[in-house]
Chains A and B, each alone.
Chain A
Amino acid sequence: MKEILKVLEQDARATPQQIAAMTGLSVAEVEKTLEQALAQGIILKYKALINWEKAGEERVWALIEVKVAPQREVGFDAVAERIARFPQVHTMYLVSGTYDLAVLVVARTMHEVAAFVSGKLAPLESIQSTVTHFLLKRYKEDGELLAGEERVKRLPLAP
């Protein structure tokens, strides 16, 4: 299973035939494992990493620090799950330190981010405070450099 996942982690488009060739497993085995992995939520989704700015679409990103009063029995989970369901929330973590939830929000305009924070996020019960940081530049996402790695040309033949 892990061997298969390692191939897919680098290229989600690798076909069962290709994965089978690389891992020495049969195509049927690979297909079955992939189905299981998807069903069990080990593979969450197959999707493309897109640099939207490069595609000519401006997006505004904001990192919001949220302080939350944990609730009896459910702790942070209940409110965290409510926040996470908003489509504007790109990524979200519970963190240690001076605040509790790190919420990465993506929107088309600054106004939209502001509206989300003041209209949806801040008024939620048990939210104590929010601090919004707008992102100035993104360098790396999901392990990929956004500027891309410059390919240095190698000699075509070497001993």
Chain B
Amino acid sequence: MTEPHLDGFISHRVTQLSPSGIRRFFDLIANMTDVISLGVGEPDIATPWHIREQAIYAIEKGYTMYTSNAGLPELRHELAKYLEKHCGVSYNPESELLVTVGVSQGLDLALRAILNPGDEVLVPDPSYVAYVPCVTLAGGQAVPIPTSSEYQFKLLPQDVEARLSPKSKALLFGYPANPTGTVMSREELSQIAHLAKKHNLLAISDEVYARLVYEGEHTCFSSLPHMKERTILLGGFSKAYAMTGWRIGYAAGPADLIQAMTKVHQYTMLCAPIVSQMAALEALKNGEDLVSEMAAEYDRRRHLIVQGLRQMGLPCPDPPGAFYAFPSIRPTGLSSEDFAQELLMEEKVAVVPGSAFGTCGEGHIRCCYAVSPTDIEEALNRMARFVSRHRNHQ
């Protein structure tokens, strides 16, 4: 009997996806001890206790069933109030909001709901690792828009315009940005909004880091004039409320689009887990104080890491949002992949190579500073040794 060639069963779409740039680091780390990781994309603390406690209570009370496809009505009502307060946009909880399994699912739903084969989606380079693969999986074509450290990795209107084609359908971006920490000002986003209107593009705006802005302020893309009707706003609880493992987020947008997304959602997911929805409701109702406390704490750690990186000779502008520093590693002459791998092997510090987020991320590494100050300091000490060694080898 011959073994079946399983490769032949895997779809072209999947085989064509490039493997995640951080996957092989997992295997390296698996056999190491005493690694300090700045390679995570999540807070270092557990979800605030009042949220966990409420979820335990929900389980005890027997909240173990399906909810409506769109999510618990009470949660959608609270979300509408929250978005009104923090984004300055009114969404109808009955028709313009959908509770999703994290922003990840919201993104997948949005793309699957809007893309026909070959439709193009413009995506900043570098950006979150899932954007391009999600576009591909939904049958679209991702078109990277290069950005550079010279302009703090901001999206420049002329760079967007230069990559438009008759097939362009949507812009997909997220500010504050992962991996760069970039925040776009209201004026800067207005220029992008102008393009969206002029060329009839839809915007998918991933605002999962909205509450973590330390300089300037967050601008909700749909709050810009005439943008609500052409924006799918994606948000979540993972970062601001330290709820990554709950997998809970939401999508807000024009009723027709939300309805289309709900159609995909009802057949593929049915609904977000009820316990996570109950936890999210508690976060919205009683979590506000903790959000600002956590943000203040991240801001202190941000100062600490940026200063340390600069002191070791790595150029690192202040990242105004999210919880990542994105220093240049050019002084070492190493590629970002080599830097990350050798740093891990020599000094046991894990960071993510910038190239994992797109070709324009090359020459940089992503360092998450949502880790304890003690760990940040030790990681900085180790990195400083590494950088000085590799500088001398030049």
Asked if B29 and A156 sit within 8 Å, CB to CB, the answer is: yes
**Closest chain A residue to B350 by CB distance?**
A156
Choose one: B35, B39, B130, B300; the contact of A7 (CB below 8 Å): B300
9 smallest A-B Cβ distances: which pairs? A22-B300, A157-B39, A156-B37, A158-B41, A159-B129, A21-B307, A156-B29, A21-B304, A158-B40
**Within 8 Å of chain B (Cβ to Cβ): is A136?**
no
Question: With A154-B40, A154-B42, A155-B40 given, is the CB distance from A18 to B25 under 8 Å?
Answer: no
Question: With A14-B373, A18-B373, A22-B373 given, is the CB distance from A156 to B304 under 8 Å?
Answer: no
**Within 8 Å of chain A (Cβ to Cβ): is B246?**
no
**Within 8 Å of chain B (Cβ to Cβ): is A6?**
yes
Closest chain-A Cβ to B65's Cβ sits at a distance in Å of 28
**Within 8 Å of chain B (Cβ to Cβ): is A152?**
yes
Which residues of B have CB within 8 Å of A7?
Answer: 300
Q: Mark A74-105, 1 if CB is under 8 A from B, else 0.
A: 00000000000000000000000000000000
Asked if B304 and A22 sit within 8 Å, CB to CB, the answer is: yes
**Within 8 Å of chain B (Cβ to Cβ): is A29?**
no
**Within 8 Å of chain A (Cβ to Cβ): is B26?**
yes
**Within 8 Å of chain B (Cβ to Cβ): is A23?**
yes
| Size class of the contact patch on chain A | 10 to 19
Choose one: B22, B178, B307, B374; the contact of A157 (CB below 8 Å): B22
Asked if B128 and A157 sit within 8 Å, CB to CB, the answer is: no
Given contacts A22-B373, A159-B356, list 12 more A-B pairs with CB under 8 A: A11-B374, A14-B373, A21-B303, A21-B304, A21-B308, A22-B304, A24-B303, A155-B26, A157-B39, A158-B42, A159-B22, A159-B178
Asked if A157 and B42 sit within 8 Å, CB to CB, the answer is: no
**Closest chain A residue to B32 by CB distance?**
A156
Asked if B303 and A156 sit within 8 Å, CB to CB, the answer is: no
**Within 8 Å of chain A (Cβ to Cβ): is B292?**
no
Asked if B373 and A157 sit within 8 Å, CB to CB, the answer is: no
**Within 8 Å of chain A (Cβ to Cβ): is B46?**
yes
**Closest chain A residue to B318 by CB distance?**
A24
Closest chain-B Cβ to A33's Cβ sits at a distance in Å of 15
Q: Give the most central of A11, A24, A155, A156: most B CB within 10 Å.
A: A156
Which residues of A have CB within 8 Å of B35?
Answer: 156
Q: List 24 A-B contacts (CB under 8 A).
A: A3-B300, A6-B300, A11-B374, A14-B373, A18-B377, A21-B307, A21-B308, A22-B301, A22-B303, A22-B373, A24-B303, A149-B46, A152-B46, A154-B40, A156-B35, A156-B39, A157-B26, A157-B37, A157-B39, A157-B40, A158-B39, A159-B22, A159-B129, A159-B178
Q: How far is the CA of A159 from the CA of B42 in the complex (A)?
A: 9
Asked if B300 and A23 sit within 8 Å, CB to CB, the answer is: yes
Q: Mark B21-59, 1 if CB is under 8 A from A, else 0.
A: 010011001000001010111101010000000000000
Q: How far is the CA of A54 from the CA of B303 in the complex (A)?
A: 36
**Within 8 Å of chain A (Cβ to Cβ): is B213?**
no
**Closest chain A residue to B371 by CB distance?**
A154
**Closest chain A residue to B40 by CB distance?**
A158
Closest chain-B Cβ to A21's Cβ sits at a distance in Å of 5
Closest chain-B Cβ to A17's Cβ sits at a distance in Å of 10
Choose one: B42, B46, B296, B352; the contact of A6 (CB below 8 Å): B296
**Within 8 Å of chain A (Cβ to Cβ): is B68?**
no
Closest chain-A Cβ to B78's Cβ sits at a distance in Å of 28
Question: With A11-B373, A154-B44 given, is the CB distance from A159 to B300 under 8 Å?
Answer: no
**Closest chain A residue to B300 by CB distance?**
A22
Q: How far is the CA of A3 from the CA of B42 in the complex (A)?
A: 24
Closest chain-B Cβ to A13's Cβ sits at a distance in Å of 9
Closest chain-B Cβ to A8's Cβ sits at a distance in Å of 12
Closest chain-B Cβ to A7's Cβ sits at a distance in Å of 6
Which residues of A have CB within 8 Å of B44?
Answer: 154
Q: Give the most central of A7, A14, A18, A159: most B CB within 10 Å.
A: A159
Closest chain-A Cβ to B239's Cβ sits at a distance in Å of 12
